[in-house]
A and B are shown apart, each in its own frame.
Chain A
Amino acid sequence: MNFTLAGIFAVLSHAIPPFLPLILAILALLVLAQLIGRLRGYRLTDYRCLPAGIAALLAGLSTLWWLPMLTYSRLGLVATLTDWAALIAAALGVALITWLVLHPLSYLVRGPRGQ
Chain B
Amino acid sequence: MTPPLESPRLDRRQLLKLSIGAGAAALMPLSGLQANTVSTRARIVILGGGAAGMSMANRLAMRLSGARITVVEPRETHHYQPGWTLVASGVWQPDRTLRLNADFMPRGIDWIRQPAVGVDADERRITLADASTLTYDILVVATGLQLNYHRIEGMSTDLIGNHGIGSVYAGPQEAARTSDAIDKWLAIGGGQGLFTNPQTAIKCAGAPIKMAFTTQSRIKITGNRDDFALDYFTPSDGMFSQPWINDFLKQRFDRDNIARHHGQYLSAIDPQARQAEFTGRDGNTETRDYDFIHVVPPMSAPDFVKASDLIAKEGAFAGEWLDTDIYTMQHNRYPEVFGIGDVIGAPINKTAASVKAQAPVVEENIAAFLEDKPLPARHNGYTSCPLITDIGTAMLVEFGYDNDMAFMPSFSFIDPKEESWAAWVLKDYMLQPAYYAMLEGRV
Q: Is the CB of B384 within 8 A of A71?
A: no
Given contacts A1-B398, A13-B20, A13-B437, contact A77 B32 (CB under 8 A): no
**Contact (Cβ within 8 A) A9 B420:** no
- B390 to A, closest residue via Cβ: A77
Q: CB-CB < 8 A to A3: which residues of B?
A: 410, 443
- Cβ-neighbour of B421 out of A2, A9, A14, A79 (below 8 A): A79
Q: Which residues from chain B contact A17 at a C-beta distance below 8 Å?
A: 13, 16-17
Q: Are A4 and B28 in contact (CB under 8 A)?
A: yes
Q: How far is it, in angstroms, between the C-alpha of A16 and the C-alpha of B16 when the chains are bound? A: 9
Q: Which residues of A contact B24 (CB under 8 A)?
A: 5-6, 8-10, 13
Contact between chains at A16 and B418 (CB < 8 Å): no
What is the chain A residue whose CB lies nearest that of B22? A9
Residue numbers in B under 8 Å from A16 (CB-CB) = 16, 20
Q: Which A residues are CB-close (under 8 A) to B413? A: 82, 85
Count class of interface residues, chain B: 35 or more
Number of chain A residues whose Cβ lies closer than 8 Å to a Cβ of chain B: 32
B 393-414 binary contact with A (CB < 8 Å = 1; else 0):
1000010000000001010011
Complex Cα distance, B32 from A14, in Å, reads 20
* Complex Cα gap A24–B24 (Å): 21
Minimum CB–CB distance from A8 to chain B (whole Å) comes to: 8
In the docked arrangement, what's the CA distance between A15 and B393, Å?
20
Q: Is B127 an interface residue (CB 8 A)?
A: no
Q: A6-B442, A13-B16, A17-B13 are in contact. Are A80 and B415 (CB under 8 A)?
A: yes
Taken together as a complex, chains A and B put the C-alpha atoms of A107 and B382 apart, in Å, by 57
**Contacting residues, chain A, for B21 (C-beta < 8 A):** 9-10, 13
Asked if A20 is at the interface of the complex by the 8 Å CB criterion, the answer is yes
Asked if A73 CB lies within 8 Å of chain B CBs, one says: yes
Q: A39 near B: Cβ within 8 Å? A: no
Asked whether A9 lies within 8 Å of B392 as measured between CB atoms, the reply is: no
Given contacts A12-B433, A13-B24, A68-B392, contact A5 B443 (CB under 8 A): no
**Which residues between 361 and 413 of chain B lie within 8 Å of chain A, taking CB atoms?**
382, 384, 390-393, 398, 408, 410, 413
B442→A77 contact, CB < 8 A: no
A1-B410, A79-B393 known; A6-B91 Cβ under 8 A: no
Interface digits, B252-290 against A, CB 8 Å rule (1 contact, 0 not)?
Answer: 000000000000000000000000000000000000000
How far is the CB of A3 from the nearest CB of chain B, in Å? 6
With A and B bound together, what is the CA distance between A41 and B261 in angstroms?
A: 73
Contact A80 B398 (CB under 8 A): no
A5 to B437, CA, bound (A): 13
CB contact between B29 and one of A4, A78, A87 (< 8 Å): that residue: A4
| Known A4-B32, A15-B429: A10·B442 in contact at CB below 8 Å | yes
Residues 1-47 (chain A) with a chain B CB within 8 angstroms:
1-17, 20
Chain A residues with Cβ under 8 A from B414's Cβ? Answer: 80, 82
Within 8 A of A (CB), among B15-38: 16-17, 20-21, 23-25, 27-29, 32
Q: Which 6 A-B pairs have the closest CB atoms?
A: A73-B392, A9-B24, A14-B433, A10-B442, A15-B433, A10-B437
Known: A1-B408, A4-B29, A73-B392. 12 other contacts (CB 8 A): A2-B410, A3-B443, A4-B443, A5-B24, A6-B442, A7-B443, A13-B16, A72-B424, A73-B391, A77-B421, A79-B419, A79-B420
Q: List 23 A-B contacts (CB under 8 A).
A: A1-B353, A4-B29, A5-B24, A5-B29, A6-B27, A7-B437, A10-B24, A10-B443, A11-B434, A11-B443, A13-B437, A14-B432, A16-B20, A72-B428, A77-B392, A77-B393, A79-B418, A80-B415, A80-B418, A80-B419, A80-B422, A82-B422, A86-B422
